[in-house]
A and B are shown apart, each in its own frame.
Chain A
Amino acid sequence: MRRRIPRCVVSFHTTAGAMAAERLCRREGLEGKLISVPRSVTSDCGLAWSAPPELREILERRFREAGIEAAGFHALTL
């Protein structure tokens, strides 16, 4: 059974936003993966980006610079 670990979960206003974030992170070698947005974050059923918590500041900056609008950054244990 998988152990739960701390993650930085980034939610987006649109699915396209989440996929743009994935493309950016893949291109720049930033660790993380697309996940179904956790129920504790929102009642919406879109996608989110899950990354190691230490990448939060880098992600905030790079998403802002790339014009990718995040709905929120959440510290969760998944």
Chain B
Amino acid sequence: MKENTFARRYGLMILAGVVVGAAALILTAAGNPKNMGFCIACFERDIAGALGLHGAGKVQYLRPEIPGIVLGAMLSALSFREFKARAGSCPASRFVLGLFVMIGALAFLGCPLRMVIRLGGGDLTAVAGLLGFLAGILVGVAFLKKGFSLGRAYPVKRGEGLILPAVMAGLLALLLLAPGLLKFSEEGPGSMRAFWLISLATGLAVGFFAQRSRLCMAGGLRDVFLLRDFTLLAGFLAIWATVTVGNLILGNYNLSVLSQPVAHSQHLWSFLGMALAGWGSILLGGCPLRQLILAGEGSGDAAVTVLGMVAGAAAAHNFGLAGNPDSAADGVYQVGGIGTAGMVAVVIGFAVLLAVSLLHLPGKEEA
């Protein structure tokens, strides 16, 4: 009988991590903001801005990476006969959870994927986010152990599963054929962008490999805590290693807590923001990247979650909830972070997640 080999168990996952890490490096070299080669939260926020859903002029651009990920995952799922149109697992709760995951991520200034990419750039402010993410996942796992469930999804007509990929294809068509309908940042992170074809190609590659490997930042840590299984976590580590080595080679590695690109030093709120994102991701069954992949595989529930995240991004910038990066003005270093409104939103987010968690525990007769 064949033996379990390292390559058989971890090979695809490590390959996916290397692809994602390399994609982040390529996109940064091609024009995306530093330490933000890939960020699901940031890019969905930019898309919300491009569509006029918020008015923050510095973060408006229809990032082709996001349609690329969804379409790459769809092509992979179709190619390997894994496209399954399904829905019906508490879509309203998922919308709200997606919204608060986004608010938490934007308080930190990045999704779990960008957190790893920031760490790979030497950004030590992301350590607070990592610790918060771990804490949030532990809370989510505790509720899983108590029986938390949003319920199962059921098969639906194939067209239902194609809705979000079709929306993404439509957004891409808007960017290429009718850019005048969209908003484009002229300064700030939204103005820093790779050529659209590079963005789309890397998005397609990431979507394809993430679908094949089931790469998930939250799922990796969930499996470690629940099962002592490190398979999914290997992808997480491969991204970090690839980005770290790439940045060292390219001279972009800056090990410091100060002056990091699009990051702030309000460590407590970085911790809490990512704790909110981690907890929400466990309740949703996957991190923001994984939601895009699931939507590409035909999950209507994940599609609703993605729409919730876009709504969360719009709310975060319309109501001043998102973090501001540290900056230097007249030679004085100014610590950024979130304001009072953002802090209130994060606290409300914890209350909402607690309510959703408690409301979806089994009754006494089910336990």
Contacts and interface: CB of A to CB of B under 8 A. Distances in A.
A and B are partners in one complex rather than unrelated chains: yes
B330 interface: no
Contact of A4 (B2, B153, B219, B232): B2
Given A34-B226, A43-B297, A45-B219, A16 B144 contact: yes
Given A13-B152, A43-B214, A2 B147 contact: no
A3 B4 CA distance: 6
A16 B362 contact: yes
B290 A45 contact: yes
A35 B229 contact: yes
B55 interface: no
- Sort chain B's interface into a size bin: 20 to 34
**Closest 9 CB pairs between A and B?**
A16-B149, A13-B152, A45-B214, A43-B82, A45-B219, A14-B149, A1-B3, A36-B229, A2-B4
Interface in A17-36: 17, 19-20, 34-36
Given A1-B4, A15-B149, 18 more contacts: A2-B3, A3-B3, A5-B1, A13-B152, A15-B285, A16-B149, A19-B145, A20-B147, A34-B226, A36-B229, A43-B77, A44-B214, A45-B216, A45-B290, A46-B285, A47-B226, A77-B1, A77-B2
Contacts of B149: 14-17
A19 B144 contact: yes
Contacts of B2: 4, 77
B148 interface: yes
Interface in B1-35: 1-5, 12
Contacts of B5: 1
A3 B214 contact: no
A44 B109 CA distance: 28
Contacts of A69: 152
A74 to B, nearest CB: 15
A61 interface: no
A69 B366 CA distance: 13
A3 to B, nearest CB: 6
A19 B227 CA distance: 11
Contacts of A5: 1
Contacts of A19: 144-145, 147
B227 A45 contact: no
A16 B148 contact: yes
Contact of B214 (A2, A14, A39): A39
Contacts of A14: 149-152
7 contacts: A2-B4, A3-B1, A15-B144, A16-B148, A17-B149, A45-B290, A69-B152
Central interface residue in A1, A36, A46, by most chain B CB within 10 Å: A36
B148 A13 contact: no
Given A20-B147, A45-B214, A36 B232 contact: yes
Nearest to B229: A36
A3 B1 CA distance: 7
Interface in B350-367: 362
